Amino acid sequence: MNDKLNSQMLHHLEHGDKRIILVGTAHVSRDSVELVEAIIKEVQPDTVCVELCESRAQSIRQKDHWQEMDIIKVIKEKKAFLLLSNLMLASFQKRIANRLEVAPGQEMIQAMDSAEAAGAAVHLADRDIRITLSRTWRSMGLWGKVKLLFQLVLSLGEVDEISEADVEKMKQQDMLASILDEVGKSMPQVRNCLIDERDRYLTEKIRTAPGQTIVAVVGAGHVPGIKRYWDQPVDIHALESLPAKSPLSGFFKWFIPLFICILIVYGFFRGGAGAGADMVTWWILANGILAGLGAVIALGHPLTVLSSILAAPLTSLNPMIAAGWVSGLVEAFSRKPKVKDFESLPLDILSVKGFWRNKVTRILLVVVFTNLGSAAGTFVAIPMMIKYL
């Protein structure tokens, strides 16, 4: 590896009497793995910080961690959309890694292995992935979530266009900064939670790590932010808390069902029984058919499709229940995932076809597409119902 490349990836920082060597890596780069091993061997640090939290450290070490997933619990806790997006992100990284014949996160595994060989402590410096994703999710509206989901689906087909040279270029700070600027323009909430907040979190965890000589291994995308926040105070407790849900979202959650009910009642009084019945019919058809279509797109079981059609008109009027949760549970019981489905999950998420074939991800798709169909049905039904007033 040449000296020019090293100078782009290595950054020397100080904090009090501590000396920190910050290593910016590409997460699917063989050169990054080799550099991490060489730097730790040469420096012999007291501590090696890695851009991992406890759960991510376990997941890259334990190949069978998917088998511990409780899919029913995921649906009940309203995390299907969240988990599906996370799997798609993992898919994108895995497919790049497979093309370059290096395991995703291999540089972090190498950092931990080299730390052990050097007798250095391993310090997990990243925020818990569940907190990061939850903060990201709560910061996004429905349209933002849908937009992110479809961008992730489209990204599954773009990996073949990425070369190893493209990945290596990502280590260059100016190019990476421009990429993040584009992300920030289209989805600022995502950038704030996934990049900016974690930059501050990593900064605080690295500079407060034990030992006087520290090697910190982080993705190249975090290096500019860490250097920017290095001399600034960071409230780490605020970054670890979940923000309260927006009062406006809570208002609309109850307002829309109440508005629909009032609209139907008003239709009976103003237009008579015929008009009221027509409004109810439109409500049932629009919600049921579009929710059912969502379940069909997800290749749900016939009972799943039926349950979504029957549930959507009712669940759309109940802020506490979503049609997708009903259809997802029906799908989970109708086509209960087996051990082999969990075992094949890391392989199946590498293709669009695999997402629909695997029983675990198909359940998540059923939840997401049924909910999207039901939401679309609500907005289709309202103008059609108003015509009868």
pLDDT 10s per residue in the chain (389 long)? 445 445 568 999 999 999 999 999 875 567 788 899 999 999 999 999 999 888 778 766 665 555 556 677 777 776 776 677 667 666 666 665 566 555 667 888 899 999 999 999 999 999 987 788 778 777 776 666 666 666 666 555 555 555 556 555 544 443 344 444 445 556 666 677 778 899 999 999 999 999 999 999 998 888 999 999 999 999 999 998 876 666 766 677 788 889 999 999 998 988 888 888 999 999 999 999 999 999 999 999 999 999 999 999 999 998 888 899 999 999 999 998 887 777 777 677 777 788 888 898 899 899 989 999 999 999 899 998 988 87
Provide the pLDDT for residue 41: 94
CA–CA distance, 103 with 101 (Å, rounded to integer): 7
CA angle 171, 176, 179 (to 5 degrees): 150
Residue indicated by tokens 């009940």 = 76
CA–CA distance, 368 with 359 (Å, rounded to integer): 14
Provide the pLDDT for residue 178: 42
CA–CA distance, 140 with 121 (Å, rounded to integer): 37
Q: With contact defined as beta carbons under 8 Å apart, do 191 and 148 qualify?
A: no
Provide the pLDDT for residue 2: 47
Q: With contact defined as beta carbons under 8 Å apart, do 36 and 115 qualify?
A: no
In order, the DSSP letters of 68-121 are G--HHHHHHTT-HHHHHHHHHHHHHHHHHHHHHT--TTHHHHHHHHHHHHHTPE
In Å, what is the CA distance from 276 to each residue of 59, 264, 267, 283?
55, 6, 5, 11
Cα distance between the two ends of the chain:
74
Provide the pLDDT for residue 241: 86
Provide the pLDDT for residue 21: 96
Residue indicated by tokens 């995921």 = 74
Residue indicated by tokens 């995703």 = 104
Provide the pLDDT for residue 63: 54
Domain definitions of the chain by residue range: 3-240, 247-386
Provide the pLDDT for residue 308: 96
Provide the pLDDT for residue 69: 63
pTM attached to this predicted model:
0.65
CA–CA distance, 354 with 346 (Å, rounded to integer): 10
Residue indicated by tokens 């933002």 = 144
Provide the pLDDT for residue 172: 47
Q: Phi, psi (5° rounding) for residue 322?
A: -120, 145
Using the 8-state DSSP alphabet, how is residue 312 labeled? H
3-state secondary structure of 19: strand
